[in-house]
Amino acid sequence: MPEGDTVWQTAQRLHRALAGSPLIRSDLRVPRLATADLTGRQVLEVVPRGKHLLTRVEGGLTLHSHLRMDGSWQVYGPDERWRGGPHHQIRAILATAAHTAVGYRLPVLELLRTGDEDRVVGHLGPDLLGPDWDPDEALRRLLSDPSRPLGEALLDQRNLAGIGNVYKSELCFLLRVSPWLPIGEVASPERLVAHAKKLLEANRNRRARITTAESRRDRRLWVYGRPGRPCLRCGTPVRTAEQGHTGQERSTFWCPSCQAGPPGPEPS
């Protein structure tokens, strides 16, 4: 699942493949960009901003993309077979003489002036893996609504950018508090911010995301994706439930024994 670490890795991969070279092919397969052509323009850089990707090209233009749940960018050599999915799922192709970047299942793809990037990312809080990281500002934003459940506050990219569903559940477990605990009742909330930064930094260069310090596939994460299985710390079955406002619910995983606070909804 793409979260801040995945997007950071994708940006590094795209930057190495495209930056400093002119595009010899530009194919943007969304209706509103059907006539847009970036061929001949040099790619200046590819940078991540939370879960957003900004590909900046000559002429003051930025191609903005977002992976959401299952989008991806893949990079291929000149003679390499494309393996990211069927051709009808391709939304973007950017090619230099040496590499081709192919965007699959991209739910967000738009071309804008680089000077207008704030229109799409200006609302984001401090980026956990970005040069703008400011733990004090992230903490201030998190605590601005003290009655909000912790899990919801962590997912709100306006508070701090880069946390998705996996890190939300894992952070709550590491702090030993329920995802339904109001953020204002979290003891030492600065530890929450520090843990978030530490986790994403530890995983930004890993192929497999790990929060437990164990490399075995079935023991890499404490609670996420483990409904009904024994908690790795105490053996209690891990629970899962939807959390969030109607229409914006996301699955949350937690251990009812290890994590103190509101128990969450009862299993249906």
Active-site residue flag, 49: no
Handedness of CA 252, 258, 262, 267 (dihedral sign): positive
Asked whether 259 and 173 are in contact (CB, 8 A), the reply is yes
- Nearest in space to 115 (alpha carbons), one of 62, 49, 65, 55: 62
116-122 long-range contacts, CB within 8 A, separation 24+: 116/62, 117/49, 117/54, 117/62, 117/64, 120/52, 120/64, 121/49, 121/50, 121/52, 121/54, 121/64
Active-site residue flag, 197: no
Please name every residue paired with 101 in a beta bridge, in sequence order, or none if there are none: 75, 94
Please give the single-letter amino acid code of residue 57: V
Which one from 3, 49, 149, 170 is the annotated catalytic residue? 3
Which one from 49, 51, 56, 91 is the annotated catalytic residue? 51
- Nearest in space to 252 (alpha carbons), one of 242, 244, 261, 262: 242
Which one from 2, 149, 179, 189 is the annotated catalytic residue? 2
Active-site residue flag, 48: no
- Nearest in space to 11 (alpha carbons), one of 98, 101, 87: 101
Report d(CA 88, CA 166) in Å as an integer.
29
Active-site residue flag, 267: no
Which one from 13, 148, 250, 256 is the annotated catalytic residue? 250
The catalytic residue positions are 2-3, 51, 250
